[in-house]
Chains A and B, each alone.
Chain A
Amino acid sequence: MAMLHLVNKSPFDGCNLNTAATVMKGGDELLLIEDGVYGAMKNSKGAALLDGLKVSVLGPDLAARGIPEDRLVDGATVVDYAGFVDLVEANDKVQSWL
């Protein structure tokens, strides 16, 4: 029963990314949206939490914030809104860490 975890807050704003990352089980996926996209930046607070996780980042939110894709941690996949829908469809449940 794979779950899609959504995080929409900066890793510096509360503990949402930390909680999501530590609750995730094998097969689960993480999608970072809105201010959550900062969590996938290299050399920043979120990077260490994402080690070994399947991570996607919503491209339009990344572009809005002026963060180039080459600043993301290795292995992070950038998706568009259609990709967001695909992830929801591919997983049994969605958990939003608001």
Chain B
Amino acid sequence: MSETKKFMYLNRKAPYGTIYAWESLEVVLIGAAFEQDVSLAFLDDGVFQLTKGQDTKGIGMKNFSPTYAALGDYEVTKIYVEKESLEERGLTIDDLQHLVWEDEDEDWAEKDSIRLVSRSELADVLAEQDVLFNF
């Protein structure tokens, strides 16, 4: 029985312009099978990954944004979004997908996955982690 570690995936790049966003998602989904305590952070241009209404038909690339809504099913329920990064980009939480998970301990009550945090609050969350993955 190995000890559970706190894994955090930091997402700091916009989707589609580079492969980082998609690669991160793939690694998160693979990593979810290892039953670690996983959380995701979206900051800097990474906040653009979560915008709703993405439609990639015109650029001939796979639209991977619906996959974020499946993270709750993989028990990835802690998604930190940095407030300052949104504000700098003229975005609000309403521009992002509404991501939820179902809590089996509370009769499958639907709960929000996204936690809006300030940069200093995010720093505290980072300090608690055992392993950080950067994309």
Contacts and interface: CB of A to CB of B under 8 A. Distances in A.
A10 B47 CA distance: 12
A75 interface: no
Contacts, number: 72
B89 A38 contact: yes
Contacts of A5: none
A61 B57 CA distance: 10
Given A64-B54, A64-B55, A64-B61, A41 B16 contact: no
Interface stretch (A20-28, A66-74, A85-93): A66-74
A97 interface: no
B45 A12 contact: yes
A13 B45 contact: yes
Interface in A46-96: 47, 59-61, 63-68, 71, 80
Contact of B48 (A42, A43, A65): A65
A64 B88 contact: no
Interface residues of B, number: 25
Interface in B25-69: 44-45, 48, 51-59, 61, 63, 65
A34 B88 contact: no
B40 to A, nearest CB: 18
B14 A38 contact: yes
Nearest to A45: B88
A47 B14 CA distance: 18
A40 to B, nearest CB: 11
Interface of A: 8-10, 12-13, 34-35, 38, 41-45, 47, 59-61, 63-68, 71, 80
In order of increasing CB-CB distance, the 7 nearest A-B pairs are A60-B58, A43-B90, A35-B17, A66-B51, A66-B54, A66-B53, A44-B90
